Protein backbone atom coordinates (compact mmCIF):
# COMPACT_ATOMS: atom_id res chain seq x y z
CA UNK A 1 0.00 0.00 0.00
CA UNK A 2 1.31 3.43 -0.96
CA UNK A 3 0.76 6.43 1.25
CA UNK A 4 0.10 8.84 -1.61
CA UNK A 5 -0.55 12.37 -0.41
CA UNK A 6 -1.58 13.50 -3.90
CA UNK A 7 -4.77 11.46 -4.32
CA UNK A 8 -6.65 11.18 -7.61
CA UNK A 9 -10.01 10.58 -5.92
CA UNK A 10 -11.63 11.99 -2.79
CA UNK A 11 -14.22 9.95 -0.93
CA UNK A 12 -16.41 12.04 1.36
CA UNK A 13 -18.56 10.32 3.97
CA UNK A 14 -20.95 12.09 6.36
CA UNK A 15 -21.35 10.17 9.60
CA UNK A 16 -24.29 10.56 11.95
CA UNK A 17 -24.59 7.98 14.72
CA UNK A 18 -23.01 5.13 12.75
CA UNK A 19 -20.55 3.89 15.37
CA UNK A 20 -21.55 0.30 14.68
CA UNK A 21 -20.78 0.51 10.95
CA UNK A 22 -18.16 3.16 10.21
CA UNK A 23 -15.13 0.94 10.93
CA UNK A 24 -16.29 -1.56 8.29
CA UNK A 25 -16.73 1.21 5.72
CA UNK A 26 -13.22 2.52 6.42
CA UNK A 27 -11.76 -0.97 6.10
CA UNK A 28 -13.51 -1.50 2.75
CA UNK A 29 -11.88 1.70 1.48
CA UNK A 30 -8.48 0.62 2.78
CA UNK A 31 -8.90 -2.68 0.93
CA UNK A 32 -9.25 -1.03 -2.49
CA UNK A 33 -7.00 -2.27 -5.29
CA UNK A 34 -6.66 1.40 -6.30
CA UNK A 35 -4.44 3.18 -3.74
CA UNK A 36 -4.47 6.83 -4.81
CA UNK A 37 -7.44 7.93 -2.71
CA UNK A 38 -8.24 10.07 0.30
CA UNK A 39 -11.15 9.51 2.66
CA UNK A 40 -12.71 12.58 4.27
CA UNK A 41 -14.97 11.69 7.20
CA UNK A 42 -17.46 14.29 8.44
CA UNK A 43 -18.96 13.75 11.87
CA UNK A 44 -22.40 15.35 11.47
CA UNK A 45 -23.03 16.05 15.14
CA UNK A 46 -23.17 12.40 16.25
CA UNK A 47 -24.34 11.66 19.78
CA UNK A 48 -22.84 8.16 19.89
CA UNK A 49 -19.21 7.01 19.67
CA UNK A 50 -18.91 7.62 15.90
CA UNK A 51 -16.26 10.32 16.22
CA UNK A 52 -14.09 8.17 18.49
CA UNK A 53 -14.45 5.17 16.16
CA UNK A 54 -13.44 7.26 13.16
CA UNK A 55 -10.34 8.61 14.87
CA UNK A 56 -9.32 5.15 16.00
CA UNK A 57 -9.85 3.52 12.59
CA UNK A 58 -7.95 6.29 10.78
CA UNK A 59 -4.82 6.16 12.95
CA UNK A 60 -1.65 5.53 10.98
CA UNK A 61 -3.14 6.30 7.57
CA UNK A 62 -2.58 9.92 6.44
CA UNK A 63 -5.04 9.40 3.58
CA UNK A 64 -7.89 9.52 6.10
CA UNK A 65 -8.94 12.78 7.78
CA UNK A 66 -11.74 13.42 10.26
CA UNK A 67 -13.71 16.67 10.60
CA UNK A 68 -16.70 17.68 12.69
CA UNK A 69 -19.72 19.86 12.03
CA UNK A 70 -22.96 20.60 13.85
CA UNK A 71 -25.79 18.36 12.69
CA UNK A 72 -27.34 19.77 9.54
CA UNK A 73 -28.19 16.81 7.34
CA UNK A 74 -26.35 14.65 4.85
CA UNK A 75 -26.37 17.12 1.93
CA UNK A 76 -24.88 19.91 4.02
CA UNK A 77 -22.24 17.54 5.40
CA UNK A 78 -21.31 16.33 1.90
CA UNK A 79 -20.84 19.89 0.66
CA UNK A 80 -18.89 20.76 3.80
CA UNK A 81 -16.56 17.80 3.29
CA UNK A 82 -15.95 18.73 -0.32
CA UNK A 83 -14.17 21.87 0.85
CA UNK A 84 -11.35 19.69 2.27
CA UNK A 85 -10.44 17.72 -0.86
CA UNK A 86 -6.87 17.84 -2.15
CA UNK A 87 -5.91 19.96 -5.13
CA UNK A 88 -4.69 16.87 -6.96
CA UNK A 89 -8.06 15.12 -6.78
CA UNK A 90 -9.71 14.45 -10.16
CA UNK A 91 -12.75 12.48 -8.99
CA UNK A 92 -15.15 12.49 -6.06
CA UNK A 93 -17.51 9.97 -4.47
CA UNK A 94 -19.79 10.13 -1.41
CA UNK A 95 -20.17 6.62 0.08
CA UNK A 96 -22.53 6.20 3.02
CA UNK A 97 -21.15 5.47 6.48
CA UNK A 98 -23.02 2.17 6.86
CA UNK A 99 -22.21 0.69 3.43
CA UNK A 100 -19.32 -1.30 1.97
CA UNK A 101 -17.24 -0.97 -1.20
CA UNK A 102 -16.10 -3.98 -3.20
CA UNK A 103 -12.31 -3.99 -3.34
CA UNK A 104 -12.27 -3.32 -7.10
CA UNK A 105 -14.86 -0.53 -7.17
CA UNK A 106 -12.50 2.44 -7.45
CA UNK A 107 -10.18 0.76 -9.94
CA UNK A 108 -13.10 -0.27 -12.18
CA UNK A 109 -14.96 3.04 -12.24
CA UNK A 110 -11.88 5.27 -12.45
CA UNK A 111 -10.57 3.30 -15.43
CA UNK A 112 -13.77 4.14 -17.30
CA UNK A 113 -13.58 7.85 -16.45
CA UNK A 114 -9.91 7.88 -17.41
CA UNK A 115 -10.75 6.41 -20.80
CA UNK A 116 -13.26 9.05 -21.92
CA UNK A 117 -13.32 12.74 -20.97
CA UNK A 118 -16.91 13.07 -22.14
CA UNK A 119 -18.12 10.95 -19.20
CA UNK A 120 -19.06 13.15 -16.25
CA UNK A 121 -20.06 10.36 -13.87
CA UNK A 122 -19.87 6.58 -13.59
CA UNK A 123 -21.87 4.26 -11.36
CA UNK A 124 -22.35 0.52 -10.90
CA UNK A 125 -24.93 -2.00 -9.83
CA UNK A 126 -25.29 -2.50 -6.09
CA UNK A 127 -26.34 -5.35 -3.82
CA UNK A 128 -28.32 -4.95 -0.62
CA UNK A 129 -27.10 -6.14 2.77
CA UNK A 130 -28.84 -6.26 6.12
CA UNK A 131 -27.77 -4.76 9.41
CA UNK A 132 -25.39 -7.71 9.96
CA UNK A 133 -23.79 -7.37 6.53
CA UNK A 134 -25.56 -10.40 5.06
CA UNK A 135 -26.80 -10.27 1.47
CA UNK A 136 -30.55 -9.80 1.06
CA UNK A 137 -32.84 -9.59 -1.93
CA UNK A 138 -31.94 -6.63 -4.12
CA UNK A 139 -34.81 -5.34 -6.23
CA UNK A 140 -34.92 -2.10 -8.17
CA UNK A 141 -36.54 -0.80 -11.31
CA UNK A 142 -34.81 -0.89 -14.66
CA UNK A 143 -33.86 2.35 -16.40
CA UNK A 144 -36.73 3.78 -18.45
CA UNK A 145 -36.19 5.14 -21.97
CA UNK A 146 -38.49 6.25 -24.78
CA UNK A 147 -40.08 3.73 -27.11
CA UNK A 148 -42.17 5.76 -29.55
CA UNK A 149 -45.05 7.28 -27.54
CA UNK A 150 -44.44 4.70 -24.81
CA UNK A 151 -41.42 3.56 -22.77
CA UNK A 152 -39.29 0.48 -22.47
CA UNK A 153 -36.76 -0.85 -20.00
CA UNK A 154 -33.16 -0.23 -21.03
CA UNK A 155 -30.94 -3.35 -21.22
CA UNK A 156 -28.24 -3.59 -18.55
CA UNK A 157 -25.53 -3.97 -21.18
CA UNK A 158 -26.40 -0.53 -22.60
CA UNK A 159 -23.99 1.63 -20.61
CA UNK A 160 -25.24 5.15 -21.28
CA UNK A 161 -27.85 6.41 -18.82
CA UNK A 162 -30.05 9.06 -20.40
CA UNK A 163 -31.38 12.19 -18.72
CA UNK A 164 -34.95 10.86 -19.05
CA UNK A 165 -33.90 7.75 -17.11
CA UNK A 166 -32.37 9.80 -14.30
CA UNK A 167 -35.45 12.00 -13.97
CA UNK A 168 -37.50 8.77 -13.95
CA UNK A 169 -35.64 7.75 -10.78
CA UNK A 170 -33.18 5.30 -12.32
CA UNK A 171 -31.45 2.97 -9.80
CA UNK A 172 -28.53 5.38 -9.52
CA UNK A 173 -28.30 5.89 -5.77
CA UNK A 174 -26.26 8.74 -4.34
CA UNK A 175 -23.35 6.92 -2.63
CA UNK A 176 -22.59 4.66 -5.61
CA UNK A 177 -21.84 7.36 -8.18
CA UNK A 178 -18.23 8.35 -8.87
CA UNK A 179 -18.08 11.83 -10.43
CA UNK A 180 -15.53 13.81 -12.37
CA UNK A 181 -14.50 16.73 -10.18
CA UNK A 182 -14.84 19.28 -13.02
CA UNK A 183 -18.42 18.13 -13.65
CA UNK A 184 -19.33 18.20 -9.94
CA UNK A 185 -18.00 21.74 -9.59
CA UNK A 186 -20.03 22.77 -12.63
CA UNK A 187 -23.21 21.43 -11.02
CA UNK A 188 -25.40 22.83 -8.25
CA UNK A 189 -23.82 20.14 -6.02
CA UNK A 190 -25.88 18.65 -3.16
CA UNK A 191 -29.13 20.57 -2.67
CA UNK A 192 -29.64 21.39 1.01
CA UNK A 193 -33.05 22.95 0.29
CA UNK A 194 -34.53 19.64 -0.84
CA UNK A 195 -33.71 17.38 2.09
CA UNK A 196 -32.74 13.71 1.94
CA UNK A 197 -34.10 11.22 -0.59
CA UNK A 198 -34.14 12.16 -4.23
CA UNK A 199 -31.27 14.61 -3.98
CA UNK A 200 -29.38 12.41 -6.42
CA UNK A 201 -32.06 12.88 -9.09
CA UNK A 202 -31.32 16.60 -9.04
CA UNK A 203 -27.54 16.33 -8.95
CA UNK A 204 -27.26 13.58 -11.55
CA UNK A 205 -29.69 15.38 -13.86
CA UNK A 206 -27.44 18.41 -13.60
CA UNK A 207 -24.41 16.20 -14.30
CA UNK A 208 -26.14 14.70 -17.36
CA UNK A 209 -26.43 18.18 -18.85
CA UNK A 210 -22.64 18.43 -18.62
CA UNK A 211 -21.59 15.02 -19.96
CA UNK A 212 -22.44 11.34 -20.28
CA UNK A 213 -23.49 9.13 -17.36
CA UNK A 214 -21.99 5.63 -17.61
CA UNK A 215 -23.47 2.48 -16.02
CA UNK A 216 -21.35 -0.56 -15.10
CA UNK A 217 -23.35 -3.76 -14.80
CA UNK A 218 -21.30 -5.17 -11.93
CA UNK A 219 -22.37 -5.29 -8.23
CA UNK A 220 -19.43 -3.40 -6.74
CA UNK A 221 -21.23 -1.55 -3.93
CA UNK A 222 -23.00 -3.05 -0.92
CA UNK A 223 -25.91 -0.91 0.25
CA UNK A 224 -27.09 -1.53 3.79
CA UNK A 225 -30.84 -1.45 4.34
CA UNK A 226 -32.45 -0.82 7.69
CA UNK A 227 -35.55 0.85 9.14
CA UNK A 228 -33.80 4.11 10.07
CA UNK A 229 -33.16 5.14 6.46
CA UNK A 230 -35.14 8.00 4.90
CA UNK A 231 -35.65 5.85 1.79
CA UNK A 232 -37.53 3.31 3.92
CA UNK A 233 -40.15 5.96 4.83
CA UNK A 234 -42.93 5.62 2.23
CA UNK A 235 -44.62 8.88 3.23
CA UNK A 236 -41.33 10.80 3.01
CA UNK A 237 -40.65 9.24 -0.40
CA UNK A 238 -43.94 10.64 -1.76
CA UNK A 239 -43.15 14.09 -0.38
CA UNK A 240 -39.64 14.07 -1.79
CA UNK A 241 -40.80 12.96 -5.23
CA UNK A 242 -43.07 16.01 -5.46
CA UNK A 243 -40.29 18.29 -4.26
CA UNK A 244 -37.89 16.89 -6.86
CA UNK A 245 -40.45 17.47 -9.62
CA UNK A 246 -40.95 21.08 -8.52
CA UNK A 247 -37.19 21.60 -8.32
CA UNK A 248 -36.71 20.28 -11.84
CA UNK A 249 -39.48 22.49 -13.21
CA UNK A 250 -37.88 25.49 -11.49
CA UNK A 251 -34.60 24.99 -13.35
CA UNK A 252 -33.62 28.08 -15.34
CA UNK A 253 -30.21 27.35 -16.79
CA UNK A 254 -29.70 27.77 -20.53
CA UNK A 255 -32.79 27.67 -22.76
CA UNK A 256 -31.60 24.42 -24.32
CA UNK A 257 -31.20 22.73 -20.96
CA UNK A 258 -34.56 24.04 -19.73
CA UNK A 259 -36.16 22.25 -22.67
CA UNK A 260 -34.24 19.06 -21.93
CA UNK A 261 -35.22 19.08 -18.25
CA UNK A 262 -38.91 19.76 -18.94
CA UNK A 263 -38.95 17.13 -21.67
CA UNK A 264 -37.57 14.59 -19.19
CA UNK A 265 -40.20 15.57 -16.59
CA UNK A 266 -42.92 15.13 -19.23
CA UNK A 267 -41.58 11.69 -20.06
CA UNK A 268 -41.60 10.56 -16.42
CA UNK A 269 -44.80 12.19 -15.21
CA UNK A 270 -46.78 12.03 -18.45
CA UNK A 271 -45.62 8.77 -20.02
CA UNK A 272 -44.01 6.48 -17.41
CA UNK A 273 -46.31 7.19 -14.48
CA UNK A 274 -49.44 7.33 -16.65
CA UNK A 275 -48.77 4.01 -18.37
CA UNK A 276 -47.77 2.40 -15.09
CA UNK A 277 -51.09 3.57 -13.67
CA UNK A 278 -52.90 1.96 -16.59
CA UNK A 279 -50.95 -1.28 -16.09
CA UNK A 280 -51.89 -1.24 -12.41
CA UNK A 281 -55.51 -0.79 -13.44
CA UNK A 282 -55.38 -3.86 -15.69
CA UNK A 283 -54.03 -5.92 -12.80
CA UNK A 284 -56.88 -4.71 -10.60
CA UNK A 285 -59.39 -5.70 -13.28
CA UNK A 286 -57.93 -9.19 -13.52
CA UNK A 287 -58.04 -9.53 -9.73
CA UNK A 288 -61.75 -8.66 -9.73
CA UNK A 289 -61.59 -5.07 -8.49
CA UNK A 290 -63.41 -3.64 -11.50
CA UNK A 291 -64.37 -0.12 -10.23
CA UNK A 292 -60.90 0.78 -8.99
CA UNK A 293 -59.28 -0.84 -12.01
CA UNK A 294 -61.39 1.18 -14.44
CA UNK A 295 -60.68 4.41 -12.55
CA UNK A 296 -56.94 3.76 -12.71
CA UNK A 297 -57.03 2.99 -16.43
CA UNK A 298 -59.13 6.05 -17.30
CA UNK A 299 -57.05 8.39 -15.11
CA UNK A 300 -53.81 7.09 -16.62
CA UNK A 301 -55.13 7.38 -20.18
CA UNK A 302 -56.33 10.96 -19.66
CA UNK A 303 -53.03 11.94 -18.07
CA UNK A 304 -51.05 10.36 -20.92
CA UNK A 305 -53.18 12.07 -23.61
CA UNK A 306 -52.94 15.48 -21.93
CA UNK A 307 -49.15 15.27 -21.59
CA UNK A 308 -48.83 14.25 -25.25
CA UNK A 309 -51.28 16.71 -26.79
CA UNK A 310 -51.09 19.70 -24.43
CA UNK A 311 -47.72 19.54 -22.64
CA UNK A 312 -47.76 23.15 -21.38
CA UNK A 313 -51.14 22.67 -19.75
CA UNK A 314 -49.99 19.34 -18.33
CA UNK A 315 -46.94 20.97 -16.71
CA UNK A 316 -49.11 23.69 -15.15
CA UNK A 317 -51.48 21.09 -13.74
CA UNK A 318 -48.56 19.00 -12.52
CA UNK A 319 -47.12 21.91 -10.54
CA UNK A 320 -50.51 22.55 -8.93
CA UNK A 321 -50.87 18.85 -8.09
CA UNK A 322 -47.46 18.78 -6.40
CA UNK A 323 -48.16 21.86 -4.30
CA UNK A 324 -51.62 20.54 -3.39
CA UNK A 325 -50.10 17.24 -2.25
CA UNK A 326 -47.52 19.02 -0.08
CA UNK A 327 -50.24 21.28 1.36
CA UNK A 328 -52.27 18.22 2.38
CA UNK A 329 -49.18 16.98 4.22
CA UNK A 330 -48.97 20.31 6.07
CA UNK A 331 -45.82 21.35 4.18
CA UNK A 332 -45.37 24.93 2.96
CA UNK A 333 -42.42 24.59 0.60
CA UNK A 334 -41.19 26.11 -2.65
CA UNK A 335 -37.88 25.61 -4.51
CA UNK A 336 -35.13 27.93 -3.34
CA UNK A 337 -33.55 30.37 -5.79
CA UNK A 338 -30.22 28.51 -5.67
CA UNK A 339 -31.50 25.92 -8.16
CA UNK A 340 -33.11 28.56 -10.38
CA UNK A 341 -29.76 30.22 -10.96
CA UNK A 342 -27.69 27.04 -11.15
CA UNK A 343 -24.80 26.80 -13.55
CA UNK A 344 -25.27 24.94 -16.80
CA UNK A 345 -23.25 24.19 -19.88
Instruction: Read off the pLDDT of residues 277-324 as tens digits, 9 standing for 90 and up.
Output: 999 999 999 999 999 999 999 999 999 999 999 999 999 999 999 999
Residues 131 and 170 occupy one common structural domain: yes
263 and 330 in a common domain: yes
What pLDDT is recorded for position 337? 65
Q: Cβ–Cβ contacts within 10 Å for residue 83, how many?
A: 9
Least confident of 158-167, 173-182, 231-240: 231-240
What confidence score (pLDDT) does residue 139 get?
79
Final residue belonging to a domain, choices 185, 211, 232: 232
Residue 55, φ and ψ in degrees, nearest 5: -65, -40
pLDDT tens readout for residues 24-61:
999 999 999 999 999 999 999 999 999 999 999 999 99
By residue range, what is the domain housing residue 270? Answer: 243-336
Indicate the residue among 204, 232, 260 that finishes a domain.
232
Strands (E), the chain: 9-15, 37-44, 64-69, 91-93, 100-101, 119-129, 135-136, 144-147, 150-153, 178-180, 212-224
Average pLDDT over every residue of 135-155: 92
**Distance separating alpha carbons of residues 205 and 165, to the nearest angstrom:** 9
Q: Same domain, yes or no, for 110 and 62?
A: yes
CA distances from 141 to 2, 29, 165, 205, 342 (A): 39, 28, 11, 18, 29
Task: Please tell me whether residues 177 and 130 are part of one structural domain.
Answer: yes
Average pLDDT, the chain: 93
pTM of the model: 0.92
pLDDT at 341 over 80: no
pLDDT of residue 253: 83
Is there a single domain that holds both residue 173 and residue 96?
yes
pLDDT at 344: 42
pLDDT value at residue 179: 98
How confident is residue 1, by pLDDT bands cut at 50, 70 and 90?
very low
- Asked whether residue 2 is domain-assigned, the answer is no
- What confidence score (pLDDT) does residue 336 get? 79
| Last-in-domain residue among 203, 232, 261 | 232
Q: Within this chain, do residues 24 and 170 fall inside the same structural domain, yes or no?
A: yes
Same domain, 318 and 190: no
Indicate whether 267 and 191 sit together in one domain.
no
- Total structural domains within the chain: 2
Q: 303 and 207, same structural domain?
A: no
Q: Are residues 257 and 180 in the same domain?
A: no
161 in a structural domain:
yes
Q: Name the band, by pLDDT with cuts 50, 70 and 90, for residue 207.
A: very high
Q: Quick one: pLDDT band at residue 147, thresholds 50, 70, 90?
A: very high
Amino acid sequence: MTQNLKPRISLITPVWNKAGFITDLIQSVKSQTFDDWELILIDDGSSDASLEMMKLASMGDPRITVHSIENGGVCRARNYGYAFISASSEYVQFPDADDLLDSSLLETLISILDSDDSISACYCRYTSIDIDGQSINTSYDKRKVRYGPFFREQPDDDHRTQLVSIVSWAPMIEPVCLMRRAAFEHSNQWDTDLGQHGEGVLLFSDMALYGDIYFVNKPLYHYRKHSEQHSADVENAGIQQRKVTLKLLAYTGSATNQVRIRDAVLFFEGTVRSLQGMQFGWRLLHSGNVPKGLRSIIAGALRWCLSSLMPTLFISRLERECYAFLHLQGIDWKPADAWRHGRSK
